[in-house]
């Protein structure tokens, strides 16, 4: 398992420790969980914006759910 070090002030560490206690998890789990959650939310927002921009560029064309599901039934090109 990899280790990542983060430098914080004594006051920030104390606050983070109190937040970990408040949530009933370790300090490491608190930082990992909230960092990952925030990064995943940011990623989702960017992907959504890219899809929205592509939709606008494509004159707001949509694909039916039936067509989407049919794509899952197609074999991969390398099979």
Report, as an integer, the average pLDDT of 38-56: 97
Q: 3 φ, ψ to 5°? A: -120, 135
Q: Cβ atoms within 10 A of the Cβ of 13, count?
A: 13
Distance CA 30, CA 6 (A): 13
Residue 77: band (very low, low, confident or very high) from pLDDT cuts 50, 70, 90: low
For residue 79, pLDDT over 60 is answered with: no
Whether the per-residue pLDDT at 41 is higher than 70: the answer is: yes
Decide which of 44 and 1 is more confident: 44
Contacts of 40 (CB under 8 A, 6+ apart): none
Task: Tell me which long-range contacts 14-18 makes (C-beta under 8 A, separation of at least 24).
Answer: none
Task: Examine the pLDDT at 78 and tell me if it is beyond 70.
Answer: no
pTM score, whole prediction: 0.64
């Amino acid at each position: 398992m990899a280790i990542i070090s983060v430098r914080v002030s004594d006051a920030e560490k104390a606050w983070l420790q109190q937040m970990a206690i408040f949530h009933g998890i370790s300090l490491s789990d608190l930082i990992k969980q909230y960092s990952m959650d925030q990064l995943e939310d940011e990623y989702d927002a960017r992907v959504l914006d890219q899809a929205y921009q592509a939709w606008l560029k494509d004159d707001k064309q949509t694909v039916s759910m039936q067509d989407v599901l049919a794509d899952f039934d197609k074999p991969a090109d390398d099979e």
